[in-house]
Chain A
Amino acid sequence: QKEVEQNSGPLSVPEGAIASLNCTYSDRGSQSFFWYRQYSGKSPELIMFIYSNGDKEDGRFTAQLNKASQYVSLLIRDSQPSDSATYLCAVKSTSGTYKYIFGTGTRLKVLA
């Protein structure tokens, strides 16, 4: 079992819709979770982080965390073509200071 799993996609949504990106992780002791956006040919950019169970909202983005189910998700409301990118889920490892385990990413396509 991979440590951090994401559906590779592509996930296609129409402009204005809600995009839902999902991630599961294997280390039950993990405490910190991150979402990065990576445009083609660019480096990853941090867009959301969440440490507590529940929802965390920032603009059009909402991160959801369920530690009991070892599940973290990212919702993008009112999706725009500019949101088309690969979204990487990362989990802070319980072994090693500031070591993060990344999923392979979900490619999102927002159709105009």
Chain B
Amino acid sequence: SAVISQKPSRDICQRGTSLTIQCQVDSQVTMMFWYRQQPGQSLTLIATANQGSEATYESGFVIDKFPISRPNLTFSTLTVSNMSPEDSSIYLCSVVGSAGGSYGYTFGSGTRLTVV
């Protein structure tokens, strides 16, 4: 299965600033996914990032707040813009694997964001 390097692993940021999270995959993948996991909550899909096209955002998430780049088939970034304490969460990137007939996700190690 794919190996994903995600960074930073954690950060503490001031409100009103922005943070860019990077994910690097060790193989070429068509789609990458960005999730948010808030304390005590399930994973919520923010957007799907396809190389060469605009990201597709889920209801409740907008490009101005969460701009995504996907410059090639192994890399993507998610920016959390104009942060507020409500953005404090774990952010995860993922790709779909096909090992053993599964089409489940492989996740990056996550970015724990605290906004103060």
> Are A98 and B33 closer than 8 Å at their CB atoms?
yes
Q: Is the pair B42, A100 in contact by a Cβ cutoff of 8 Å?
A: no
Chain B residues packing against A (C-beta within 8 Å): 31, 33, 40-45, 48, 92, 96-97, 101-110
Known: A43-B107, A46-B104. A96 touches B48 (CB 8 A): yes
Binds B, one of A13-21, A76-84, A102-110: A102-110
Residue from B42, B103, B105 whose CB has the most chain A CB atoms within 10 Å: B42
Residue positions of A touching B, CB distance < 8 A: 4, 8, 32, 34, 36, 42-46, 49, 88, 90, 92, 96-100, 102-105
Whether A102 contacts B48 by the Cβ 8 Å rule is no
Residues of B with C-beta under 8 A to A8 = 40
A contact residues around B31 at 8 Å (CB): 97-98
Asked if B42 and A34 sit within 8 Å, CB to CB, the answer is: no
Query: How distant is the Cα of A105 from the Cα of B40 in the complex, in angstroms?
Result: 9
- A5 → chain B closest CB, angstroms: 10
Select which of A34, A43, A97, A98 is within 8 A of B109 by beta carbon: A43
Contact (Cβ within 8 A) B42 A4: yes
Which B residues lie within 8 Å of A104 (CB)? 40-42
Q: How far is the CB of A64 from chain B (nearest CB, A)?
A: 17
For the complex, give the distance between the alpha carbons of A97 and B32 in Å: 11
Q: When the two chains form their complex, are residues A43 and B42 in contact, meaning their CB atoms are under 8 A apart?
A: no
Complex contacts, A105 vs chain B, CB 8 Å: 42
Residues of chain B within 8 A of A49, CB atoms compared: 101-104
A90/B108 contact (C-beta < 8 A), A102-B43, A104-B40, A105-B42 known: no
Q: How far is the CB of B86 from chain A (nearest CB, A)?
A: 19
Enumerate 13 A-B pairs (CB-CB under 8 Å) in ascending A order: A32-B103, A34-B104, A43-B107, A44-B92, A49-B102, A90-B43, A97-B31, A98-B96, A99-B48, A100-B105, A102-B43, A104-B40, A104-B42
Are B45 and A44 neighbours in the complex by a CB distance under 8 Å?
Answer: no
Q: Which residues of chain B have C-beta atoms less than 8 A from A46's C-beta?
A: 97, 102, 104-106
CB distance from A92 to the nearest CB of B (A): 8
Closest to B45 in A: A99
